[in-house]
Chains A and B, each alone.
Chain A
Amino acid sequence: MQKTLYITSNGRLRRKDNTLYFETENEKRSIDIENVEQIHIFGEVDLNTKALNYISQYGIILHFYNYYGFYAGSFMPRKKNVSGDVVVRQALHYLDREKRIFLAYCFVESAVYHMMRNLRERKEAEAFLNAIDDEWENGKFNISSISELMGLEGRVRNIYYSSFNQFLPEDFYMEKREKRPPTNPINALISFGNSLIYSTVLTEIYHTQLDPSISFLHEPSEKRFSLSLDISEIFKPLVVDTVIFKLLNNHQLSLEHFDEDLNYCYLNQEGRKIFIKELQSKLETTVRHRQLNRNVSYKGFIRLECYKLIKHFIGDQVYSPLKAWW
Chain B
Amino acid sequence: MFVIVTYDINEKRVNKVRKILKKYFTWVQNSVFEGEITLGKLEKCKRELLSVIEKDEDSVYFYEMEYKLVCNKKVLGQEKNYDSIII
List residues of chain A with CB under 8 Å of any chain B CB.
1, 3-9, 11, 17-19, 22, 29-30, 32-35, 273, 276-277, 280
Q: How far is A35 from B25 in the complex, measured between Cα atoms in Å?
A: 8
Closest partner residue, chain A, to B86 (CB atom): A6
Q: How many residues of B contact A (CB 8 A)?
A: 17
Classify the secondary structure of B's interface with A. mixed
> A35-B36, A35-B41 are known contacts. Are A7 and B87 too (CB-CB below 8 A)?
yes
Query: Do the beta carbons of A17 and B85 come within 8 Å of each other?
Result: no
Query: Do the beta carbons of A29 and B19 come within 8 Å of each other?
Result: no
Q: How far is A6 from B85 in the complex, measured between Cα atoms in Å?
A: 6
Q: How far is A204 from B41 in the complex, measured between Cα atoms in Å?
A: 21
Closest partner residue, chain A, to B19 (CB atom): A17
Q: Which of A9, A22, A29, A34 interacts with B24 by CB under 8 Å?
A: A34
Interfacial residues of chain B within 3-53, with CB under 8 A of chain A in the complex: 19, 22-27, 35-37, 41, 44-45
Q: How far is A34 from B26 in the complex, measured between Cα atoms in Å?
A: 11
Please, which residues of chain B bring their CB within 8 A of the CB of A276?
86
Closest partner residue, chain A, to B18 (CB atom): A17
Please, which residues of chain A bring their CB within 8 A of the CB of B37?
34-35
Q: How far is A280 from B86 in the complex, measured between Cα atoms in Å?
A: 10
Can you pick out 25 interface pairs between chain A and chain B where the beta carbons lie within 8 Å of each other?
A5-B87, A6-B86, A6-B87, A8-B86, A18-B19, A18-B23, A19-B19, A19-B23, A29-B82, A30-B27, A32-B22, A32-B23, A32-B24, A32-B25, A32-B26, A32-B35, A33-B23, A34-B23, A34-B24, A34-B37, A34-B41, A34-B44, A35-B35, A35-B41, A280-B85
